[in-house]
């Protein structure tokens, strides 16, 4: 129930939620956790990244990613339209700035699911963002998940494993760490950290 005030019209309270950044190595299950969380809490807005990578089977433009050409990505970067961007496994990914800021301003909780490079860029430009690291239960489990996907050639998997070692070493840079032993548990813990309960 809204508070009532007598005599003056107060400024609305500052209810702008903090941006939450979820990062972690490729194959740790970020997308699975986020999909489960948003099924239960669709009010959490997940930023849709732009990417130069080709769509995987079942991925839809504007839903999973905005699939753009190299030239379109060059323009987005040059015009400062991305909150962050990074190159990973030969493709570029970036977060459109305007949509994130608009949702935050309107009081909608915003979640970014991005890689380490992107998380570092967001921390520089939006220091109030809350960064959460999603860790695998073990290195062996991460290797199993990455090789079990069956969607990428061996050389791409090898690059992802090399990158994962670097990403795992960056865990101390984050405000909080969640270990992905159970999708349901991690989704619940992430919601609690976002204060969406």
Extended strands (E) in 17-117: 20-23, 45-46, 50-51, 66-67, 82-88, 91-96, 110-113
Decide if 16 contacts 104 (C-beta within 8 A). yes
Q: Which residues are annotated as a binding site?
A: 24-31
Q: Which residues are annotated as a binding site for ATP?
A: 24-31
Decide if 128 contacts 19 (C-beta within 8 A). yes
């Amino acid at each position: 129930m809204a508070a009532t005030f007598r005599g003056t019209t107060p400024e609305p309270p500052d209810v702008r939620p903090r941006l939450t950044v979820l990062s972690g190595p490729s194959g740790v299950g970020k997308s699975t956790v986020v999909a489960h969380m948003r099924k239960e809490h669709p009010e959490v807005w997940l930023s849709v990244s732009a990417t130069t990578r080709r769509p995987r089977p079942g991925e839809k433009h504007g839903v999973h990613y905005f699939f753009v050409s190299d030239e379109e990505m060059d323009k987005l970067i040059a015009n400062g339209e991305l909150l962050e961007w990074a190159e990973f496994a030969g493709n570029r990914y970036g977060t459109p700035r305007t949509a994130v800021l608009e949702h935050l301003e309107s009081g909608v909780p915003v979640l970014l699911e991005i890689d380490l490079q992107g998380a570092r860029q967001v921390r520089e430009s939006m220091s109030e963002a809350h960064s959460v690291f999603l860790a695998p239960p073990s290195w062996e489990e991460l290797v199993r998940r990455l090789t079990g996907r069956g969607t990428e050639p061996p050389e791409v998997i090898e690059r992802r494993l090399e990158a994962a070692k670097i990403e795992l070493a960056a865990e101390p840079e984050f405000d909080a760490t969640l270990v992905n032993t159970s999708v349901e548990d991690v989704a619940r813990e992430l919601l609690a950290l976002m204060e969406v309960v």
